[in-house]
Amino acid sequence: MTDTAGNTRAKGRESPMCARYTLTDTGELLLRQFRLAELPPDYRPRYNIAPTQAVTVVLNSRGRRAAQFRWGLIPAWAKDPSIGRKLINARAETVAVKPSFRQSLRRRRCLIPADGFYEWQEVDGRKRPLRIVPTTEQLLAFAGLWDCWRSPDGEEIYTCVIITTDANAALRPIHDRMPAILFPQDYDLWLDTDVQDPEAVLPLLRPCPDDALTAYPVSTLVNSPRYDSPACIEPVEA
């Protein structure tokens, strides 16, 4: 069996979700919706964001701020940073107990803005890429966690992970998982560093309403993270 990027995966193991997404906003909506004073200096629209790349996160550090963290969580206690290549998603059902995530859930929560994400649906024995986007003009906010890993020579590497939950009824024919998407009214609670009881935030990690997202087919260009251009999000005939 293959994962969403076309790689072989072990039998019985779920395919990664979310494993690729977009944030094509020029920055204006991002600033307004997340109440940010400024964006990271290297921010730019992205059309095919992949694991291990730098991604935009929103966190609470004496007020909301945006930063660029590497996608793929490296826990502070990890001896080998390559573990981050495997920890791109965290399951909502177990995030409070898994050693890689439980401390970050208590103390290091973040939002990961997006305006769509990709999933690959099997049709007639072939994988067809779909882009899944909101039905409103708002950006999506994936529930995320972050951590800081220090190398033996003292370098600090900031990394993050996207939390997933069960797919809603609309997306279930495409995949059995989806990113945990937070509503604007939930941002303050999720980012509040004084809230460290997992039971206070776990109820936020639920499937979004069935009518919140829609999907359309896109080019197989997105199969490779080497392509990051507007062509990746252009609709194609099914």
Contact present, 42 and 67 (Cβ < 8 Å): no
Respond yes or no: is residue 110 known to be catalytic: no
DSSP 75: -
| pLDDT surpassing 70 at residue 104 | yes
Catalytic residue, candidates 18, 110, 208, 232:
18
Respond yes or no: is residue 208 known to be catalytic: no
The whole-number average pLDDT for the span 141-146 is 98
Catalytic residue, candidates 110, 119, 208, 232:
119
Is the link from the previous residue into 18 a cis peptide, with omega within 30 of 0?
A: yes
- Sequence ranges of the domains in the chain: 21-221
165-223 residue pLDDT tens: 999 999 999 999 999 999 999 999 999 999 999 999 999 999 999 999 999 999 999 99
pTM: 0.92
Beta bridge partners of 120: 129
In degrees, rounded to 5, the angle at the alpha carbon of residue 37 between the alpha carbons of residues 33 and 38 is: 95
The DSSP-derived string for 120-180 is EEEETTEEEEEEEEESSSSPEEEEEEEEEEE-TT--EEEEEEEEEEE--TTTTTT-SEEE-
3-state helix, strand, coil in the chain (%, to 5): 20, 35, 45
User: Looking at the domain 21-221, which fold is it?
Assistant: hypothetical protein yedk fold (3.90.1680)
Other C-beta atoms lying within 10 Å of the C-beta of residue 234: 13
